[in-house]
Amino acid sequence: MYIIGAGAQAKYVIDIIDLPALIRVFDPIGGRVGQKLLGIQVEEYDKDKIPEESMVIICVADPKFKKEIYEGIKKRIFAYPEMIHRKAVVADSANIQGGCIVNANATIQPDAFIGMFTMVHANVSIDHDSMIGFYCNIAPGATICGHVQIGDNTVVGPGAVVTKNVSIGRNTIIGAGSVVLSDIPNNVVAYGTPCKIVGENL
């Protein structure tokens, strides 16, 4: 197993796998090369060090940077498994795409869809028939109610609540503790109760 990223998300994956002898960790930024992450030596990132047909997990928080890393390696033949913590609850009919990370005590209900490379943090609730895009980051304690749609590259902050039937666009940031009662467009920063647009996310 090859982990690209040496921060908190990498720690989550190491905890999920729980077999440190089978893991190599690469730092795509460079600030932690030579250090140890939960006992595993962090190496300088070089995609050519990863053999074809290996299992790879991209563990960076910034959705745009995560996508950039994937775009740089997608022509090579890698497997991108979904990582689901043993204490998460995932319905049989939920569709968790490759490269997703689902952390402890998260709950994903029937017919929910989680797009590739999305991070679902601890204590998140994603209700039935919701669709979460690619490269999203759903922060700890967020609640996504039923029939919600969230576009690619979007961040939902800690403790935010997205109410039933709401759509949130691509490349948008929802601030911590917000309550989203109506649709939010692409490329904005929104915050508050009720959640309102406060700026652009370019």
Measured distance CA(5)–CA(105) in Å, rounded: 23
Task: State how far the Cα of 96 lies from the Cα of 94, in Å rounded to an integer.
Answer: 6
Give the CA diameter of the chain: 49
Task: Look up 85 and say whether it is catalytic.
Answer: no
Query: Residue 105: phi, psi to the nearest 5?
Result: 65, 10
Catalytic residue among 85, 121, 128, 147: 121
Q: Can you read off the two tokens belonging to residue 38? A: 């939960």
Question: Would you tell me how many other CB atoms lie within 10 Å of the CB of residue 181?
Answer: 15
Q: Which residues are catalytic?
A: 121
